[in-house]
């Protein structure tokens, strides 16, 4: 509607009458049609001058309602209601997320949402017209997901995705076409109990065990994630010549690795930070880097970032099983990489006297108050370094010096071949 500037109509002579022609939206029809109405006789009683005919033509068009928002919403939007399905709107919404300037969504998030739409939402409500995606249809979907054994938190996340897709359908004025007042009682949405969520946290003893893992590359990765509180993607995205201080006492978090590829966008704005390391961790990191001057800190033989899924499946889970670790939420030995961050946060917050503003900065947590916004502790580097040494890291390092990853060097004969 915003692209329509208003019609003046086309005035022409038809027999003994002056008539005006204009475009009109018609309910139940995709294309607009031409409408025609008499203005005045060509001659005789009731004849109008050219300027009067123009004014009368505009009045006729206005009386028809062709250019009004009300007519547009009643006819055009109604056609959209009858045609647009949840699956179609979901596809449009995902595409818009990748191009919008306000609050852009990370590629990893849109991919997760796309998988959810394809696996759970579209098979059950994808064929429904968007106008019929309401509390009743959501109730049926929630019952299906509950019956399939999905956790309350997962169901809550998937239901939120349904709401976002419905809310994304807006008219030309930016108003929601299908406003909804979602009723969680009617839908019977399961209650999310945070205490029962799968959020494992390693203990100091477990971290000490992981710090002695047999594989040097993954061993240093475990140590660094636990001692610095890094997200796994942040750790795998570290490049030696770009993100490590010359004395190895600081890590600059500026990018992350995902699926062996670099993404310049971090998870949140607060994730862009400098993390100060304890002198023992800095010394271990220096020995691990060795003579390397560039490249990724944790790389494959081809020089690419290693895959986080391989780290979990081939190293973290076997190491936890060997340590006889038990996840209190699942009863098995498996835990994700985020358990390292929970360890670091728990240690700094409860086992040390680290200032709150400082450990929030190191962890990359967003501020929640004006005091957090005014806190500029990140600018006091000597203070940060002092507390990094004073706080420690909460577990014991192995006495064995980590092996430096081998860098393949081709001989002249190999190059010639």
Within 10 A of 248 (CB to CB), how many other CB atoms are there? 19
Q: Rounded distance, CA 391 to CA 85, Å? A: 56
**Residue 148 has which token pair?**
């399939």
Structure confidence at residue 80 as a pLDDT band (50, 70, 90): low
Q: Which residue in the block uniquely carries the two structure tokens 């009683």?
A: 45
**pLDDT score of 413 more than 60:** no
Rounded Cα gap, residues 225 and 401, in angstroms:
18
* The two three-digit tokens of residue 408, written as one number: 């393949």
| pLDDT at residue 30, rounded to an integer | 55
pLDDT at res. 2? 45
Where are the chain's structural domains?
Answer: 10-78, 84-196, 204-391
Average pLDDT of span 393-399: 92
pLDDT at 403 (0 to 100) = 58
What is the average per-residue pLDDT within 275-293?
96
Q: Specify the pTM.
A: 0.72
Handedness of CA 317, 323, 327, 331 (dihedral sign): positive
Structure tokens at 118: 């394809």
If pLDDT is split at 50, 70 and 90, which confidence band does 66 have?
confident
Q: Which CATH architecture has domain 204-391?
A: Orthogonal Bundle (1.10)
Give pLDDT tens digits for 22-52: 888 766 555 677 888 999 999 988 899 999 9
In angstroms, the CA 212 to CA 220 distance is 9
Q: Give the pLDDT confidence of 140-174 residue by residue, as tens digits.
A: 999 999 999 999 999 999 999 999 999 999 887 78
Please give the DSSP secondary-structure letter assigned to residue 195.
Answer: G
For residues 378 and 384, the answer to whether their CB atoms sit within 8 Å is yes
Q: What is the second-level CATH architecture of the domain 84-196? A: Orthogonal Bundle (1.10)
List pLDDT tens digits, range 114-126.
999 999 999 999 9
């Amino acid at each position: 509607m915003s692209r329509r500037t208003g019609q003046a109509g086309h005035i022409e002579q038809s027999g003994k009458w002056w008539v005006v022609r204009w475009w009109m939206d018609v309910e139940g029809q995709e294309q607009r049609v031409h409408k025609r109405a008499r203005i005045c006789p060509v001659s005789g009683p009731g004849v109008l001058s050219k300027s009067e005919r123009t004014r009368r033509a505009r009045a006729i068009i206005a009386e028809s309602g062709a250019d009004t928002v009300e007519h547009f919403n009643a006819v055009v939007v109604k056609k959209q209601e009858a045609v647009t399905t949840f699956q179609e709107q979901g596809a449009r919404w995902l595409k818009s997320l990748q191009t919008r300037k306000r609050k852009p969504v990370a590629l990893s998030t849109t991919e997760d949402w796309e998988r959810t739409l394809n696996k759970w939402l579209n098979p059950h409500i994808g064929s429904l017209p968007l106008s019929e995606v309401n509390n009743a249809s959501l109730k049926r979907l929630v019952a299906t997901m509950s019956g399939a054994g999905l956790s309350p938190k997962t169901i809550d996340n998937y239901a939120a995705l349904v709401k976002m897709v419905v809310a994304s359908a807006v008219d030309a004025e930016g108003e929601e076409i299908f406003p909804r007042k979602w009723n969680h009682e009617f839908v019977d949405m399961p209650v999310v109990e945070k205490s029962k969520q799968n959020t494992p946290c390693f203990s100091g003893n477990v971290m000490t065990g992981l710090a002695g893992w047999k594989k040097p590359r993954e061993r240093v990765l475990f140590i660094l994630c636990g001692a610095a509180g890094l997200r796994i993607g942040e750790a795998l995205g570290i490049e030696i010549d770009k993100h490590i201080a010359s004395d190895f006492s600081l890590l600059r978090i500026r990018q992350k690795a995902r699926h062996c590829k670099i993404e310049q966008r971090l998870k949140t704005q607060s994730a862009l930070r400098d993390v100060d390391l304890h002198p023992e961790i800095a010394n271990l990191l220096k020995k691990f880097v060795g003579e390397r001057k560039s490249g990724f800190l944790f790389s494959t033989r081809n020089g690419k970032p290693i895959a986080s899924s391989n780290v979990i499946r081939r190293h973290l889970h076997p190491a936890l099983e060997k340590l006889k670790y038990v996840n209190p939420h699942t009863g098995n030995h498996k835990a994700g990489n985020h358990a390292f961050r929970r360890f670091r946060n728990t240690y700094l917050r409860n086992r040390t006297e680290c200032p709150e503003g400082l450990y929030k900065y190191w962890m990359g947590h967003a501020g929640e108050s004006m005091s957090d916004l005014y806190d500029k502790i990140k600018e006091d580097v000597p203070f940060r370094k002092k507390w990094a040494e004073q706080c420690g890291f909460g577990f014991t390092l192995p006495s064995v010096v980590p092996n430096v990853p081998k860098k393949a060097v081709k001989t002249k004969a190999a190059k010639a071949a």
